[in-house]
């Protein structure tokens, strides 16, 4: 029983507030009305019972007086007429014998002043006061007292009391229903501002726009205070978001500017190291090794700075010049560039060109090159790497696939995050040293900047698909 109560309580907590308010209002009203009806019903029932008994006793006394007058006037008392059709009258002696043997005997031995229940009848007795000696009929002793017994069915008062309780019960039910409806109406009216706040908050959550304002209710109550508090909270969040965005913007611009500024000294360092490497004689082996190591490290740093510059420009929204270019020709150049350093991989291409897109040739070249280098870096020697370029409806489609071990399960979307690097025997140094974990993130940045889409999936090995809008379907730039 306790478990059932707890379950009902737990379910009720999931009901809407307006329903709970209506239920509580109806329940309290029902309790009050039931208590009131019980008290009133008991008092009125007792009063009806008392009035019925008083009327029964009064009628008995009245009829006894009439009977006495008839007997004293030498009339037959059987002519006493009951005032109600359901009433019965007896004139009997003290032991219940009928005054006239031809008439019915009494209901019970008379007891004046008391109401006696006989079967379904309530019987009242009253003494018939005679002025002299009467003839008590055959076998009756002279001078014996006479009594009049007046009886009515108790069902008469029972029906009246039943109708009273039915009326009270109907009043309780109607009152409870009206209280529930009134509670629901009041709750709906009270919850209407809450519903408005909820809709506004849901709208703001969907748009993620804290600059929008919360409508303030007309009444100055707790709900209005809540609305003002929410609105102030949104103002503060909007201000904090603006500050954060401004800080992030400055950081992105700084990284972009710093990366750009670093390229000039790095280019100079690379040129000087290359000149130094060429000027060294064959006898200076140690110096040649040191210069070669420095040159390789500088090239890696130059490539990393270039990657960071591209990503920083993409984050800062710095879009370079866009021109009409052939992605098929760009992909063919990337294949020619990577084939000599494929490290034992077989690189094949199937290019159906020209495929005209609007974009930056340098960025698109970097995108294709990163996809090919990623396939070389993360697959063992002897793996077949295929590049396909063509049209797919109104889109340019570029696919780089390999028959290597493929992507780890669950990594299809994570591979485009920054600094995500694979682990295992297939992951080793590429043509410019070990990977930085930025290659595929650069691919996504370039694709997004060109209003395209890129996805990775498993198809035997790894498969990367890039989709870009064709220039034919782009508006002409003035």
CA nearest 417: which of 399, 400, 452, 442? 442
> What does the pLDDT look like over 113-128, one tens digit per residue?
888 888 888 899 998 8
Q: To 10 degrees, the CA torsion angle through 227, 229, 233, 236?
A: 120
**And the tokens for 180?**
């529930």
CB 308 within 8 A of CB 418: no
3-state secondary structure of 401: strand
CA distances from 205 to 194, 201, 211, 242 (A): 16, 6, 12, 17
CB 470 within 8 A of CB 395: yes
pLDDT at 348: 87
Q: Please tell me the number of Cα atoms within 13 Å of 140 on its side-chain side.
A: 21
Place of tokens 């019960």: 169
Cβ partners under 8 Å of residue 69, min gap 6: none
pLDDT at 140: 43
pLDDT at 475: 47
Place of tokens 């209506």: 22
CB 108 within 8 A of CB 96: yes
The CATH code for residues 320-473 is: 3.30.565.10
Residue 383 to residue 375: CA distance in whole angstroms? 9
pLDDT at 7: 54
3-state secondary structure of 145: coil
Residue 192: its H or E element:
helix 155-207
pLDDT at 320: 64
Helix boundaries (H) for 109-154: none
Residue 71 to residue 88: CA distance in whole angstroms? 19
pLDDT at 427: 47
3-state secondary structure of 328: helix
- Across 331-383, the runs of DSSP E, i.e. the strands, are 346-351, 356-359
CA nearest 430: which of 322, 326, 299? 299
**And the tokens for 195?**
């519903």
Residue 440: its H or E element:
helix 439-449
Residue 420 to residue 436: CA distance in whole angstroms? 8
Residue 455: its H or E element:
strand 453-459
* Global model pTM greater than 0.75: no
Q: What is the DSSP letter of 131?
A: S
Cis check for the bond before 320: say yes or no (omega within 30 of 0).
no
Residue 41 to residue 441: CA distance in whole angstroms? 83
> What does the pLDDT look like over 123-153, one tens digit per residue?
999 988 876 544 444 444 455 788 988 999 9
The residue ranges of the chain whose pLDDT is under 70 are 1-14, 73-81, 131-143, 218, 252-264, 281-284, 305, 309, 312-320, 410, 412, 418-437, 472-478
Q: Please tell me the number of Cα atoms within 13 Å of 234 on its side-chain side.
A: 20
CA nearest 372: which of 418, 426, 335? 335
């Amino acid at each position: 029983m306790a478990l059932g109560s707890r379950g009902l309580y737990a379910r009720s907590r999931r009901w809407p507030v307006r329903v709970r308010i209506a239920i509580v209002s109806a329940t309290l009203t029902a309790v009050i009305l039931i208590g009131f009806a019980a008290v009133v019903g008991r008092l009125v029932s007792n009063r009806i019972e008392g009035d019925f008994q008083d009327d029964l006793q009064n009628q008995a006394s009245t009829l006894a007086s009439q009977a006495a007058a008839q007997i004293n006037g030498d009339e037959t008392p059987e002519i006493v007429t009951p005032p109600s059709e359901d009433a019965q009258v007896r004139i009997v002696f003290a032991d219940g014998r009928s005054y006239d043997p031809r008439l019915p005997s009494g209901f019970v031995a008379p007891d004046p002043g008391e109401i006696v229940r006989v079967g379904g009848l309530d019987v009242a007795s009253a003494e018939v006061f005679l002025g002299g000696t009467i003839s008590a009929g055959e076998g009756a002793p002279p001078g014996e007292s006479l009594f009049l017994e007046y009886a009515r069915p108790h069902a008469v008062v029972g029906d009246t009391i039943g109708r009273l309780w039915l009326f009270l019960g109907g009043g309780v039910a109607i009152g409870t229903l009206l209280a529930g409806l009134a509670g629901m109406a009041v709750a709906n009216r009270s919850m209407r501002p809450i519903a408005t706040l909820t809709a506004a908050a849901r709208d703001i959550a969907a748009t993620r726009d804290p600059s929008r304002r919360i409508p303030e209710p007309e009444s100055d109550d707790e709900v209005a205070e809540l609305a003002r508090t929410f609105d102030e909270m949104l103002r503060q969040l909007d201000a904090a978001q603006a500050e954060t965005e401004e800080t992030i913007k400055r950081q992105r611009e700084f990284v972009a500017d710093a990366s750009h500024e670093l390229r000039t000294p790095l280019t100079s360092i690379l040129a000087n190291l290359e000149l130094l490497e060429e000027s060294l004689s064959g006898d200076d082996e140690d110096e040649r090794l040191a210069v070669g190591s420095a040159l390789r490290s500088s090239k890696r740093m130059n490539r990393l700075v270039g990657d960071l510059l591209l990503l920083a420009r993409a984050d800062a929204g710095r879009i370079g010049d866009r021109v009409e270019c052939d992605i098929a020709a760009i992909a063919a150049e990337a294949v020619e560039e990577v084939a000599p350093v494929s490290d034992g991989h077989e690189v094949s291409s199937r290019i159906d060109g020209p495929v005209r897109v609007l974009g930056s040739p340098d960025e698109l070249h970097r995108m294709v090159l990163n996809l090919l280098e990623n396939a070389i870096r993360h697959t063992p020697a002897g793996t077949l790497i295929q590049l396909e370029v063509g049209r797919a409806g109104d889109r340019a489609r570029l696919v780089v696939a390999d028959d290597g071990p493929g992507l780890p399960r669950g990594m299809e979307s994570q591979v485009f995050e920054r600094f995500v690097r694979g682990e295992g025997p297939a992951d080793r140094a590429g043509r410019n040293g070990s990977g930085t974990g930025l290659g595929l993130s650069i691919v996504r940045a370039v694709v997004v900047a060109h209003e395209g889409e890129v996805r990775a999936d498993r198809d035997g090995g790894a498969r990367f698909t890039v989709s870009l809008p064709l220039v034919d379907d782009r508006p002409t730039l003035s």
